[in-house]
Structure 1
């Protein structure tokens, strides 16, 4: 069982989950995936992704968690400053047995009104490989995906059932992505959010 394997890893290699860990398994049934979600519900730090019998378990590193939190703080500051109604869903598990796919994003939001699936998903990826999350989110019909990788922000919008890479968010078209990126990379998080709020106010 994967839960036992994770427990053994923690016992044999203290701190490994804090450094970041990615496990990939094949031939996993949907029933096992569902059971594992329930079994690991007290391990909110683990992220599970499932696609057509493949299961990926990721324990985000401290750096990954730090970046996703910075993005969340800045995004939520933008929502507040622009009076955009939002519902933060965090790393909620979104899944569909019919579509044989499920994932737990780093951050997710519904905009306007709360819905069954988020309008916007944020993924922070510091490594390559693993399950193709765009395919998972395509099956779940998530309108917009933001990927942070190699200190770059890439945005994909769902158009006619397929994701297209775009240069501007369709959900937040007035948000200057280069400005957001600069404050994600800012060395001082408190100064970053204060300056970011000021820049938003100046642009309104």
Structure 2
């Protein structure tokens, strides 16, 4: 069979590729982390899960996903995840202010 996974958002860093560098899932019910197997079959380098106001990051290492504290992807390794999380939560009530706050931080 053909492996597939449908992320809420996926991103290619640098150039467009058949497999994204990063997939982000917003988890509304249980089972989010179990989706890692689908991404593993596709060899997506990094998967982030947003669940209950928390961001959980996983990086593909030697064929398995390991939890990480910071992104290992070029251009994202310096991202302040606390600021990012704060801005995502802020966006729920004021998207414009969240964007301005995030821009001030980067």
Q: Distance in 2 between matches of 1:157 and 1:169?
A: 8
2:89 match:
185
Q: Aligned to 2:25, what secondary structure does the other structure show?
A: strand
Runs of 4+ with deviation above 2 angstroms: 129-132
Aligned residues: CA RMSD: 1.5
Choose 1 or 2 for highest CA Rg.
1
Q: Give CA-to-partner distance per residue, 1:85-116, whole Å, 9 cap, x none.
A: xxxxxxxxxxxx2xxx3111100010011111
Q: Give the unaligned 5+ runs of structure 2.
A: none
Q: SS where residue 71 of structure 2 aligns?
A: coil
Deviations 1:140-193 (A, max 9, x none): 000000000111000000001110000000011100000000000013111010
Question: Greater helix share, 1 or 2?
Answer: 1
Distance in 1 (alpha carbons) for counterparts of 2:58 and 2:33: 17
- Is structure 2 residue 55 aligned with structure 1 residue 153? yes
Cα separation, partners in 2 of 1:159 and 1:131, compared to 1, 3 Å:
closer
Number of residue-to-residue matches in the alignment: 102
| Aligned with 1:176 (options 60, 80, 87) | 80
